[in-house]
Amino acid sequence: MSDFKISGVVPPVVVPDTPDYKLDVPSFERLINRLIDAGVDGLFFLGSSGEVAFSSDARRDHVLTEAVRIVDHRVPVLAGIIDTETERMVEQGKRALKIGVDALVATAPFYALGTLQDVENHFRILHKELDAPIFAYDIPVCVHVKLPWKMLAKLGQEGVLAGVKDSSGDDIGFRYLCEANAKMGHPMSVLSGHEMVVDCAYLSGADGSVPGLANVEPYGYVRMWKAAQAGDWESARKEQERINEISHIFDVTKGVAGYGAGVGSFKTALALMGIFSSNTMLPPVKPLEGENVEAIKKVLVDNGLLES
């Protein structure tokens, strides 16, 4: 069983870029410090919303090096090692561990079609080769494989997995996983990435959350976690409802979709709030502009995150 435990709010950190596509270190520092000051319990770098797919290896190393430096052991650092298959992920993991991260987050292999047996072998190899806490990242929208809760529970019980970061959209599978984890004596840290129903994830037994929207509004997520811990579900729900109003930054835009709309809205909000210096996106994605920026601004103003 893994020694690494984490609970509470673990935002997947959005990465700021300069207009010429370099890591914008001062903005990164502002964001990280704001999150830690708000009371988050850990930080997850190089996740799906952390530009991992768009970043060269050199850039990934740069992001993690700065992250480790800025965080400076104030909270645990988790790092995504997203790549197409096992051997490539092992290499990503070795580099990340050398830089000093505390735990690794790995998806199922993708691109080449595999079987669930391949996926299970994959996590076993990662565990064996990397000798570090491994979180399974269940994100079928990106890798087109759903990790079955029974497989995850088995790998947790055997100590192969330290935890699960669930972005699967399968709230039933998530519930079964939480219940199985509890029955096994809680070998894994089970985290939900579904930022609009985090209160439900907690009611389902989650150990914590990985909410992208916490980049914009970390305080509410921290309060929600505390309320849930105290069994005050009405307060948790109200906090979630308040946050969900802010979450409409996702759907007030027009003519955009995918990563450019999702992470694009985070970057735009952070730029509007003065935390990021710009809302630059890495190619081939274009940043939000014009009326879409105004629409996001209005949501922020309406919800008290920005003065009009």
Footprint of its own copies (CB under 8 A): 21, 48, 53-57, 59, 82-88, 91, 109-115, 117-119, 121-122, 125, 141-144, 150, 169-172, 175-176, 179, 194, 196-197, 199-200, 203-204, 231, 233-234, 237, 241, 244, 251, 256-260, 262, 282-286
Least distance to its own copies from the beta carbon of 130, Å? 13
The widest CA-to-CA distance across the chain, in whole angstroms, is 54
Q: Which is nearer to its own copies, 70 or 90 (CB)?
A: 90
Q: Which is nearer to its own copies, 75 or 200 (CB)?
A: 200
On whether the CB atoms of residues 171 and 204 are closer than 8 A, the answer is yes
List 23's β-bridge partners, or say none: 17
- As a whole number of angstroms, the distance between CA 195 and CA 22 comes to 28
Residue with tokens 């998530």: 174
Q: Which is nearer to its own copies, 103 or 119 (CB)?
A: 119
Which residues are CB-neighbours of 254 under 8 A, at least 6 positions away? 291, 292, 295
Least distance to its own copies from the beta carbon of 258, Å? 4
Q: Which is nearer to its own copies, 86 or 102 (CB)?
A: 86
Closest CA to 221 of 33, 5, 14, 42: 42
Q: Which is nearer to its own copies, 122 or 223 (CB)?
A: 122
Least distance to its own copies from the beta carbon of 273, Å? 23
Quote the Cα angle for 5-221-280, to 5°.
Answer: 100
Least distance to its own copies from the beta carbon of 51, Å? 9
Least distance to its own copies from the beta carbon of 18, Å? 14
Burial label for 242, CB within 10 Å (0-12, 13-18, 19+), is middle
